[in-house]
Amino acid sequence: MKKPWYEWIQSIDRRIIYLVVFVVVSLPFFIKIKLPMRPSEPTENLYNKVEQIADYNKTSTKKKCIFFQMDWTPSVQAECWPQTEAMIEHCFMRDIPFIIMGWAPEGPMLTQTIAEKRAKEHGKKYGEDWVNFGYKPMNLPAFLAFIKDVYSQINQDTEGTPIRNVPVMQNVESIRDVDLIFHVTGSGGVEAWIQYLQPETGTDVATGCTAIIGPEMYPYLDSGQLIGMMEGLSGAAQYEHQIGYIGKGTRGSGSQNLAHFWIIAMMVLGNVGYLFQRKQEREEKQRLEMAGE
């Protein structure tokens, strides 16, 4: 006996679905459509904050810097790499010095790679425009010590030079001299900075996070504990749009469109079949009851 249509559309083999995912994500790589974009509120706030720092640096001799806390691993580089790249690009454009550190081993390494790539185009030099502390494992007690005195916890940068001798660090006596903490992560952890650092120093904290932990950050954005946020790849794309730079974020947005539509299509398809099946079953039951009476 032939399968009714509603059962049939529910029994598409998952491998076909997978194949379509592959196709819909691939197509936009080759067919490019430029669509207008506007930044979301958190992204715009972050952008404005960085601009503020840049304007301050123009006037004053003692340059304020941004602290990059890179807690991301290769597994989430898809989202965190573009975010980091966009922020680094912005820093180089408006020559804001920055410091890289990470509690995840790979974060600082990959960030260093990005920075070196971008530095070539902007003619920036390691040490003068940025410094990399590298992977610094810390537990909370160590973190509190770090807040009290950066130099007590960190003696050398990744190059092995004592950080006191690094030009960037000349303006940084303590963590208070940092004007913005930019925390990029795929697994949370920005709370440590909100809970232990911000009340001490009043430093602004911003986060670049994977889309999935984006919603979790909104209470902090509402309370001002986070000043801004890049939310996933679209956040990165919006930021790139603001600084006028075409990076991985912008390139990915095309594929995002089709992929999203495919997911929605799948939801609808699955549920239409499901609902009709349920309806049929209900009617079947009723008919049987009728027959029973």
Partner 1 sequence: MHATYTMLLLSVLFCAPIIYFILVARKGREIYIRPIAGLAAIDEAIGRATEMGRPVLYVSGLARLDIIGLCSMAILSQVAKLCARYDLRLIVPTNNYLLYPIAQEAVREAYAAEGKTDIFNDEDVLYVPGQFPYAAACVGIMHREKVAANFFFGAFYAESLILAEAGNQVGAIQVAGTPSTMQIPFFVTACDYTIIGEEYYAATAYLTKEPTMLGSLVGQDIGKMTISVLIVLGVICMVLMALFSSVDSNWMIELLEK
Partner 2 sequence: MATELEANDASRKRTELIVVLVISGAVLAYILIDMFRAMASPPDGQSGFGALFDRFMVGVAAICTIVIYSFLYKENPFYRFLEHVLVGLSVGFYTMLTWTQLLKPNWWDKLTGADGLPPNWYWLLAIFPGLMWYFQLSRKKVWLSRIIIMFFMGTGAGLSFKGIFNLLLTPGRGQIQQSFKPFLTRFGGGVVFTATNFNNIIFIVVILCVLSYFFFSFRHDKIKILPYSSTLGRYFLMVCFGTIFGTTVQGRMSLFIDRLTFLYTEWLKVLAG
Partner 3 sequence: MRKKLLIFLTFIGGLYYFVEWVMPAESGIEKTLTPFGQVTLVISGFAFLLGVINLVRLHGTRILKTRPGYYNSVALITAMIVMALAELLRFYLTPTPHWVDKSYEFLFVNMRVPIDSTIFSLLAFYMASAAYRAFRIKSLEAALMMSIAVIVMLGQITVGIWFSDMIFPAGYGLQDFREWLMKYWNAAAQRGILFGAVVGSLALSMRIWLSLERGSFFDREV
Residues that bind partner 3 (CB under 8 A): 12, 14, 17-18, 20-21, 25, 35-38, 40-41, 73-78, 106, 109, 137-139, 141-146, 148-149, 152-153, 160, 211, 214-216, 218-219, 221-222, 234, 253-254, 256-257, 259-264, 266-267, 269-271, 274-275
Residues 74 and 81: their CA atoms lie apart, in Å, by 9
To partner 1, the closest distance from the beta carbon of 127 in angstroms equals 34
Q: Are 170 and 137 in contact (CB under 8 A)?
A: no
To partner 2, the closest distance from the beta carbon of 62 in angstroms equals 26
Q: Which residues pair with 69 in a beta bridge?
A: 101, 183
Residues 145 and 156: their CA atoms lie apart, in Å, by 16
Residues whose CB is less than 8 angstroms from the CB of residue 174 and which lie 6 or more positions away in sequence, other chains included: 149, 150
Please count the other Cβ atoms lying within 10 Å of the Cβ belonging to residue 281.
Answer: 10
Residues 169 and 110: their CA atoms lie apart, in Å, by 21
Interior angle at CA 220, CA 235 and CA 140, nearest 5: 105
Q: Is 212 in the site for partner 1 (CB under 8 A)?
A: yes
Number of DSSP helices (H) and strands (E) in the chain, helices first: 12, 6
The pair of structure tokens assigned to 257 is: 């469109």
Per-residue contact track with partner 2, 86 to 125, x per CB under 8 A? Answer: -------------------x--------------------
From the list 2, 11, 15, 292, which residue makes contact with partner 2 (rule: CB under 8 A)? Answer: 15
38 touches, from partner 2, partner 3, partner 1, none (C-beta below 5 to 8 Å by class): partner 3
Q: Are 108 and 119 in contact (CB under 8 A)?
A: no
Q: Is 208 in the site for partner 2 (CB under 8 A)?
A: no
To partner 2, the closest distance from the beta carbon of 181 in angstroms equals 14
Residues 202 and 89: their CA atoms lie apart, in Å, by 26
Residues 227 and 206: their CA atoms lie apart, in Å, by 5
Interacting span for partner 2 (CB under 8 A) from 18-26, 64-72, 121-129, 167-175: 18-26
Residues 29 and 32: their CA atoms lie apart, in Å, by 7
The pair of structure tokens assigned to 175 is: 């963590």
To partner 3, the closest distance from the beta carbon of 95 in angstroms equals 29
Residues 240 and 233: their CA atoms lie apart, in Å, by 10
Show contacts with partner 2 in window 212-251 (CB under 8 A): 212, 214-215, 219, 222-225, 231-234, 248, 251
Per-residue contact track with partner 1, 71 to 110, x per CB under 8 A? Answer: ----x-----------------------------------
Q: Which is nearer to partner 3, 128 or 265 (CB)?
A: 265
Q: Are 206 and 227 in contact (CB under 8 A)?
A: yes
187 touches, from partner 1, partner 2, partner 3, none (C-beta below 5 to 8 Å by class): partner 1
5 touches, from partner 3, partner 1, partner 2, none (C-beta below 5 to 8 Å by class): none
The pair of structure tokens assigned to 75 is: 């597994």
To partner 1, the closest distance from the beta carbon of 128 in angstroms equals 35
Give the three-state DSSP class for 14: helix
Task: Tell me which residues touch partner 2 (CB under 8 A).
Answer: 15, 18, 21, 25-26, 29-30, 75-79, 81, 105, 134-137, 139-141, 144, 155-156, 162, 191-192, 194-196, 198-199, 210-212, 214-215, 219, 222-225, 231-234, 248, 251-252, 255-256, 259-260, 263
